[in-house]
Amino acid sequence: MKRLKLNYLFIGLVTLLLAMALWPSVPWYGNGQDAISQIKSRGVLRISTINSPLTYYTINKAPVGMDYELAKRFANYLGVKLKVTVRPNLSDLFDDLDDGKADLLAAGLIYNDERLMRYQTGPSYYSVSQQLVYRVDKPRPKNLGDLKGQLRVASGSAYLSSLKTARDKQYPDLNWVVSTDQAPKALLEAVAEGKLDYTIGDSVTIALLQRIHPQLAVAFDVTDEKPVTWYVPHSEDDSLNAAMLDFFNSMGEEGAMARLEEKYLGHVGTFDYVDTRTFLRAIDVTLPEIKPLFEKYAASIDWRLLAAISYQESHWNPLATSPTGVRGMMMLTRNTADSVNVEDRTDTEQSIRGGSLYLQRMMEKVPSTIPDEERIWFALAAYNMGYAHMLDARKLTAKQGGNPDSWADVKLRLPMLSQKRYYAQTTYGYARGHEAYNYVENIRKYQLSLVGYLQEQEKRLAQKSALEAELGSGYPAVTPEIAMN
């Protein structure tokens, strides 16, 4: 009897040790906690996303993107770290939710009724329309019934629901192919490269990609605007939804959401095919020779932004001259050149050095209440129309109930400085504010094109090097076929 008791004690001890070892991996672990408590206990918010010009990408090996920044702020709000998983296509994103590998999807996903049976959505943070795209040198279709070629859309996308609705209601002969291994961005690029006739994308992503792939053309809107949201697993536990709602509300009240929207969406406007093509050609032909100078003198700003400023000023022509007497790569006035010790305004290096130094001085003068990431836009407005007129624009913004420290608010008042009923209320009077507005917006577009285009070049070079290495190893290079269903 005594020996039996000892055996029970031994078995109980072993069982306790095994339970402690296996506790984190058993299926029922954490069921007593709500979603937010589990995230906080884990110390990590897990998101899944895709690589796109708006959601998530890297610059200088640092992650950026609207969804990434939102998710990072949400993780900070919860007091946890952020873990980002980048998936190659939309279907893999939702698999992560189904398999419990992600707490939420932050990938610029469009609100879709069909998904609501299995998932829940967070608050909307911007809206897009679904658009059909084609290559600019091909015939433009008028509607979904006018397609003469293959239409391919991404598996798991909201576009499938829109196409099914269109076929049921209006176009019974409409057909399409579903790509299971390509994200919407890859399909958009395939259309731009002439490898695919048509696809559907969201209006914002298309507008951003056109800065890099100007051959991408919009045929027509497939839907009206619909909200973009995060997705979370369907559950009776609403703790995660409540936290997201409170987080987005606080972002709105603090003005942080407006700044984020301005950063990523504020310059998504009209698209000029000819101007974009000309700029991309200049990147290939002219930029390589002068790139080292931008890198050398960029100082506190990204060299690609300094290059974009110079292109807006002179189209990288060192001999450029305006009717008002400004000259050179950075189009300096004689007085400005003297203030930064530039003797020859037509000398490329002197002009870039002087323009960068003058811009730095402007940034230092910008009021300290303006957020760091927006100071450059205020400085550029001052660079273009004068510092005093930039201060007038801020005062006019405050007088009209806007935020004088928000570029999104102030830029709307710039054109008013050329209208008498508004500039009469200012200290320094009339200014060509509409020119300053266009000046800054153009620079932001050029910067976007430059960053994206250089990234595409790097990707192509990496692919070429990988292919050459594979061929050099003696093994044949095989291009995988696109999987369809």
The residues annotated as belonging to the active site are 313
Per-residue exposure over 385-405, b if at least 16 CB sit within 10 Å of its own CB, e if not: bebebbbbbbbbbeeeebbbb
Contact 36, 240 (CB under 8 A): yes
Query: Which phi and psi (to 5°) does residue 52 adopt?
Result: -155, 165
How far, in Å, CA of 142 to CA of 201, rounded? 17
CA distance 363 to 458: 31
| The three-state (H, E, C) secondary structure of 226-248, written as one string | EEEEEEEECCCCCHHHHHHHHHH
Look at residue 136 and give its three-state secondary structure: coil
Contact 373, 263 (CB under 8 A): yes
**How far from each other are the two terminal CA atoms of the chain, in whole angstroms?**
67
In whole angstroms, give the CA distance from residue 399 to residue 417: 14
What is the Cα–Cα distance from 68 to 91, expressed in whole angstroms?
A: 19
Rounded to 5 degrees, what angle do the CA atoms 375, 310, 63 make? 55
- For β-strands 226-233 and 126-128, DSSP reports them as antiparallel
How many secondary structure helices (H) and strands (E) does the chain include? 19, 13
Residue 209: which of 92, 51, 316 has the closest Cα?
51
CA distances from 15 to 10, 185, 234, 258 (A): 9, 52, 35, 56
DSSP assignment of 65-130: -HHHHHHHHHHHHHTSEEEEEE-SSHHHHHHHHHTTS-SEEEEEEEP-GGGGGTEEE----EEE-E
Query: What is 47-64 written as a DSSP string?
Result: EEE--BTTTBEEETTEEE
